[in-house]
Amino acid sequence: MSASVAAPRSLGGALLRRPVAAGALAFLVVLTIASFAAPWLAAWRGLDPEQVNLLARAQPPSDVHWLGTDELGRDLLLRLLYAGQVSLTVGFAAAFGAAVVGSAIGLVAGWAGGRLDALLMRLADLLMALPVLPLLVILAALDLGKLGLPPDVAGAAWTGLARIVVLIVLVGWVTVARLVRGTTLSLKRREFVLAARALGARDRTILWRHVLPNAASPIVVATTLSIGNVILLESVLSFLGLGIQPPTASWGNMLTNAQQTLWSEPMLAVWPGLFIFATVMAFNLLGDALQDELDPRGRSG
């Protein structure tokens, strides 16, 4: 409740004093830089991640290919890094989108109360209760052309990315909405909010200036923890062939191909999974540490 946002410097310092959190943060920074620097790495090594070379299929690690090549002779490390761009982008975008939508719904529900609140919260209950993955599997198969999108938009690679972000936001806003609604409800009757109202501040100003900042810590914690989840969802959908489509690499769809050569090339199935695992783990450990720092009593309501 006391939590106005802790000053960034002290928060950063506190995180760096925790070895696990510091390690997780360092890993994520290195991974992000490496992923988005992949084009330069490719140019420097003289490699092309899309270049199929059937004479160099499934080679072991070498000076040229640091992690070897995949079943089509493409450099494995480069593809892993390009896939990292996709996973990190989807992870950040969907988690951020869910936080924004969730905050808005939580603010409105908590502030307005009454029927609107009841309706929105029942909707949240419903989404919590539904088996998410089966629902996403069905939604991900929708033909965007039949929704009225022109074929060149519906078929473009970035549409696949946007589609998966939208789907995850659609089911992912619930946690943040509940947290923000809880904070809004309890702040609504606090003196400083009543004072602001008495002074004639508009609802929007009160929500934006007084209520939202007080909900910032739980939002940050929930969002950090959700990035890992989003990356898991994206990778499983891509793995099932319903997410990011080849030739765009994603850790999930790299595993789809690797599954077919499991017997002969097991390492192709090990690396992408290891990247997913390490990334998701890092986000979760970071979120856990943030929770300890920002909200020591655990789950805040």
Partner 1 sequence: MIRFLLGRGLQIAVVVALTSFLVYALIGLMPGDPIDLMLSADPNLTAADAIRLKALYGLDQPLLDRYWHWLTAALSGDFGYSRLYAQPVWEVLWPRLGNTLLLMGASFALSLLVALPLGVLAARRAGGLVDNTVNLLAFAGISLPSFWLSILLILLFAVHLGWLPAGGLGDGGLLDRLDHMVLPVAALAIATVGQHLRYVRAGVREALRQDFVRTARAKGLSERRVVWGHVLRNALIPVVTVLALDFGTLFSGALVVETMFSWLGMGKTIYDAILGNDYNLALVSLLLATVTVLLASLAADLAYVWLDPRIEPE
CA angle 231, 232, 233 (to 5 degrees): 90
Please say which residue, 285 or 294, places its beta carbon nearer to partner 1: 285
Please say which residue, 128 or 194, places its beta carbon nearer to partner 1: 128
Size of the site for partner 1 (CB under 8 A): 45
Residue 19 as a binder of partner 1 (CB under 8 A): the answer is: no
Q: What is the DSSP letter of 148?
A: T
Minimum CB–partner distance for residue 269 and partner 1 (Å): 5
Nearest to 243 by CA among 28, 101, 24, 86: 86
Please say which residue, 163 or 187, places its beta carbon nearer to partner 1: 163
Contact between residue 184 and residue 107 where contact means Cβ atoms under 8 Å apart: yes
Residue 232 as a binder of partner 1 (CB under 8 A): the answer is: yes
- The interface region with partner 1, picked from 55-63, 96-104, 128-136, 155-163 by CB under 8 A, is 128-136
Please say which residue, 211 or 249, places its beta carbon nearer to partner 1: 249
> How far is Cα 244 from Cα 161, in angstroms, rounded to an integer?
6
How buried is 200 (Cβ within 10 angstroms: 0-12 exposed, 13-18 middle, 19+ buried)?
Answer: exposed
Minimum CB–partner distance for residue 46 and partner 1 (Å): 31
Residue 7 as a binder of partner 1 (CB under 8 A): the answer is: no
| Residue 36 CB partners (closer than 8 Å, separation 6+) | 85
Residue 153 as a binder of partner 1 (CB under 8 A): the answer is: no
Contact between residue 87 and residue 28 where contact means Cβ atoms under 8 Å apart: no
Give the phi and the psi of residue 122 in degrees, each rounded to 5: -65, -40
Helix 174-188 to helix 216-239 angle (10° resolution) is 170
Minimum CB–partner distance for residue 139 and partner 1 (Å): 7
Among 133, 185, 201, 216, interactor with partner 1 by CB under 8 A = 133
Q: What is the DSSP letter of 56?
A: G
How many Å is the Cα radius of gyration of the chain? 22
> How far is Cα 54 from Cα 70, in angstroms, rounded to an integer?
10
Residue 119 as a binder of partner 1 (CB under 8 A): the answer is: no
Residue 104 as a binder of partner 1 (CB under 8 A): the answer is: no
> How far is Cα 173 from Cα 105, in angstroms, rounded to an integer?
8
Write each residue from 254 to 293 as x if it is in contact with partner 1 (CB under 8 A), else as -, in one continuous string: -x--xx--xx--x--xx-xx--xx--xx--xx--x-----
Minimum CB–partner distance for residue 143 and partner 1 (Å): 4
Residue 222 as a binder of partner 1 (CB under 8 A): the answer is: no
Q: Which residues bind partner 1 (CB under 8 A)?
A: 20, 126, 128-135, 137-139, 141-143, 146-147, 228, 232, 235-236, 239-242, 255, 258-259, 262-263, 266, 269-270, 272-273, 276-277, 280-281, 284-285, 288, 298-299
